[in-house]
Structure 1
Amino acid sequence: MTTEGPILHADLDSFYASVEQRDDPKLRGRPVIVGGGVVLAASYEAKAYGVRTAMGGGQARRLCPAAIVVPPRMRAYSEASKAVFEVFGNTTPLVEGISIDEAFLDVGGLLKIAGTPSRIAAKLRKDVLEQVGLPITVGVARTKFLAKVASGVAKPDGLLVVPHDKELEFLHPLPVERLWGVGKVTAQKLRERGVTTVGQMEGFGEKELVRMLGRGVGAHLHALSHNDDPRRVQTGRRRRSIGAQRALGSRPRSPAELDATLLTLADRLARRLRAAQRVCRTVVLRMRFADFTKATRSHTLLEATEQTGAIVAAARGLLATARPLIDERGLTLIGLALTNLSKDDSIQLALPFGAKPRDALDSTLDTVRDRFGAKSITRAVHLGQVEEPWVPLLPD
């Protein structure tokens, strides 16, 4: 009987930068930054100089003058991700994708077929490297939470197994920031109480943590400090949201430029929504500022929709409410997400009842773009614009 947990957390190392180094041998072993205005990814050679994702491009180049800056190639990253997930699927049918470059795998039922979880994890790393050409780190543990922590500790290009009887011994010396849900604000509150490690947090007890951090956060962190995470690897779930975002760089953007970017986001997402035969109820605006802080604004519609006009109107309203914050902090990235998705035949029709009409303009534009390409027709505000780098909107 193995003492190893059945959950693997597999996480590609510096994914975008690793793809660039794989495809261009001249970049291997050298500091690479993906994205100019905003750092979308940095190789570990660049990270050694302090370069981090979401950092402004100017600051990154000052920290690492020798860095090689390359433009993002989203199609290449998408193809690499698909290839890696094919390896995941060949390892176990129980795969829960978390983002484009990481997933949970449940290998608990493969002991007699493929061996222990650590053996499976080692083979998985070997298969990804040989078949896709990318390094990947894997954490192995009894819970999803601890497997993810283990992979974070093992990076880069590592494998770390946390046995059942060593869980708290491994977890408690780690800094509190390793726990899901501990950001800068929560970490500061804990440090003001002298709590810097997970083990010190456990000593406070749940009631004290709830008084300190609030009911939801306090109870959540108390559970994690004991490795209490009952969630199972879930497969086959339909997406709860779709989204996209665009890096803006450090240059100030006019209201007209931001509106044009927002229209592009809304057009693309609405088209994807209709292609998937889905409707949305909530529009979410996501922003990242020059000081690296983030903010979101959301609006829930009275009726579910797939119409571009309704989505654009909601997005513009959210952008208007965020204008003071944008003017104060400077916007470096803007994103739009459509959530509360459901099938397009599940809409509760308003009186008088009848078939749900599809917007004629939306249908016509979809037909033209499907036949002649996504760039065959565009809004007038986009004419003459230089294409900015796109960034996949990943789950939080």
Structure 2
Amino acid sequence: MSKGVRPAITRDWGSDDTGCHVLHVDMDCFFASVELLYRPELVGKPLIVGGSGNRGVVTSATYEARAFGVHAAMPIARARRLCPQAEVVPNRKGVYSEVSAKVMDVLSRVSPVIEKVSVDEAFIDVAGSVRRMGSPVEIARWIRATVRKEVGVPASVGVAAVTHVAKLASTFAKPDGYLLIPAAHTVEFLHSLPASTMPGVGQRAAEICERYGLRTVADLVAVPPARLGAWLGRAQAAALRRYAAGDEVRGIHPQRAEKSVSSEETFEHDVTDAEVLGARVVSQSHALARRLRTSGIVGSTVGIKIRFSDFSTITRSTTLSQPTDVGQEIARAALALLEKVSIPPGGIRLVGTKVEQLRPRSAGVQLALDDDGRERAAESVADRIAARFGDDIIGPARLLSGGRHPGGNWDAKDVP
């Protein structure tokens, strides 16, 4: 959450997103947005997340509280004085990381080139996703809509040709929007900004800029390099000139290769129907398989996660004879595990599916003797159809009747 007030800038820089493959996804007022999932009656009201009582500092606040001057890192006592009508809630341990994981799960469906910068923001390179999902702006819209639909929190997205411009764009896209900075307008956009918005310009550098009348980035670059170096230090001055020129300074640095991919769903009401649970597992299996194929990886271990109504949780897993990226194979294994779980009278709160022991498909996959490759070929065709017409246009036949399996219970040997 930003501590300061964002300056007014031009909101429309054009619609040409050619070459703008860098997206910066930033969750709006993330901790407060998560709290609103648990306290929907507070939507539209001032909400502050932080320490209890008057101790601690503000972690996050809704825009209704920020309107009174509340911001992150502010002492709770001062925040209460500025906005006495606000509801103040303590941080929920563990919940924010769970919601963050769901957001990152959405991003992982777009591209494997992701850098999670913090619990509430990430860079993503969509160069390899344009053919499958559309233009960078279309992908940004899809991300925002999918995060809102599946996770329930707002996300703002900056679309640009380089990382620091995408990050600045996502800041100015708030609340709950997106902003494209076309490659051809990168320098013009940067030069229009206050000097204090540039990466690396902290309080001391901002004070120096103010002292010498350097109010905008354009003012900065107008100063001779030697003089700017004398004022700010040679290294910082050189870095600022690169930022102002629109050069890519940091790049995107994906984390270590994923060890697993997973998908899970918390039901609005606890479920006791085995067929509904089976339908979710089948749907999750095919979604995971599509992610694996998109990323060019296969997995050898399939697992499920079950959370009961009393919040107790179990996990089960099985190792396949050969690694796979085929949804039908994953679903068969997951359903076999699910069949061994007894559903208690209170029902099941959450079901999840996971594929582990990942490795690149290019490392070689040996087909089983009874595998003619038709299942994977059919699913690859489905990938192309879904990419063109949307995920809802095609899917496993068993799910077309709302997840009901005609003729009885789910059978792991009879999967779509």
TM-score (norm 2): 0.56
Alpha-carbon distance in structure 2 between the residues aligned to 1:72 and 1:2:
39
Among residues 215, 221, 228, which one is paired with 1:209 in the alignment? 228
Deviation at 1:27, TM superposition (A): 1.1
2:196 matches 1:177: yes
Alpha-carbon distance in structure 2 between the residues aligned to 1:181 and 1:233:
18
Number of residue equivalences: 238
Alpha-carbon distance in structure 1 between the residues aligned to 2:171 and 2:38:
25
Task: Extract unaligned runs of 5+ from structure 1.
Answer: 239-396
Deviation at 1:210, TM superposition (A): 1.1
Q: Secondary structure at the match of 1:124?
A: helix
Task: Extract unaligned runs of 5+ from structure 2.
Answer: 1-15, 258-416
Q: Report the AA paired with residue 82 of structure 1.
A: A
Among residues 82, 92, 97, which one is paired with 1:63 in the alignment? 82
Q: Report the AA paired with residue 162 of structure 1.
A: I
Q: Report the AA paired with residue 49 of structure 2.
A: V
Q: Give yes or no for contact 1:209–1:222 (8 Å, CA) kept in 2.
A: no
Alignment of 1:24-63 (within 5 A): 24-36=39-51, 37=55, 38-63=57-82
Alpha-carbon distance in structure 2 between the residues aligned to 1:197 and 1:169:
12
Larger Rg: 2
2:27 matches 1:12: yes
Alpha-carbon distance in structure 2 between the residues aligned to 1:148 and 1:127:
20
Q: Give yes or no for contact 2:116–2:255 (8 Å, CA) kept in 1.
A: no
2:219 matches 1:193: no
Alpha-carbon distance in structure 1 between the residues aligned to 2:215 and 2:17:
33
Alpha-carbon distance in structure 2 between the residues aligned to 1:2 and 1:13:
23
1:25-71, Cα deviation, whole Å (9 max, x unpaired): 11111110111321111111111100011111111011111110001
Q: Secondary structure at the match of 1:11?
A: strand
Deviation at 1:4, TM superposition (A): 4.4
Deviation at 1:14, TM superposition (A): 0.7
2:91 match: 72
1:183-224, Cα deviation, whole Å (9 max, x unpaired): 111001011111011111111143222111111111111111
Q: Give yes or no for contact 2:48–2:65 (8 Å, CA) kept in 1.
A: yes
Deviation at 1:136, TM superposition (A): 0.4
Q: Post-superposition, which runs of at least 4 consecutive aligned residues in structure 1 deviate over 4 A?
A: none
Alpha-carbon distance in structure 1 between the residues aligned to 2:189 and 2:72:
27
CA RMSD of aligned residues (A): 1.4
Q: Report the AA paired with residue 188 of structure 1.
A: E
Q: Give yes or no for contact 1:20–1:27 (8 Å, CA) kept in 2.
A: no
Q: Give yes or no for contact 2:17–2:183 (8 Å, CA) kept in 1.
A: no
Q: Secondary structure at the match of 2:94?
A: helix
Alignment of 1:107-146 (within 5 A): 107-146=126-165
Alpha-carbon distance in structure 2 between the residues aligned to 1:166 and 1:149:
14
Distance 1:205 1:226, change over 3 A: farther
Deviation at 1:230, TM superposition (A): 4.1
Deviation at 1:231, TM superposition (A): 3.3
Q: Secondary structure at the match of 2:71?
A: coil
Q: Secondary structure at the match of 1:112?
A: helix
Q: Secondary structure at the match of 2:141?
A: helix
Alpha-carbon distance in structure 1 between the residues aligned to 2:121 and 2:62:
17
Q: Secondary structure at the match of 1:74?
A: coil
2:123 matches 1:84: no
Q: Give yes or no for contact 1:9–1:138 (8 Å, CA) kept in 2.
A: yes
2:115 match: 96
Q: Report the AA paired with residue 29 of structure 1.
A: G
Q: Secondary structure at the match of 1:55?
A: coil
Q: Report the AA paired with residue 148 of structure 2.
A: L
Q: Give yes or no for contact 2:242–2:249 (8 Å, CA) kept in 1.
A: no
Distance 1:206 1:3, change over 3 A: farther
Q: Give yes or no for contact 1:19–1:80 (8 Å, CA) kept in 2.
A: yes
Among residues 32, 37, 42, which one is paired with 1:22 in the alignment? 37
Q: Report the AA paired with residue 213 of structure 1.
A: L
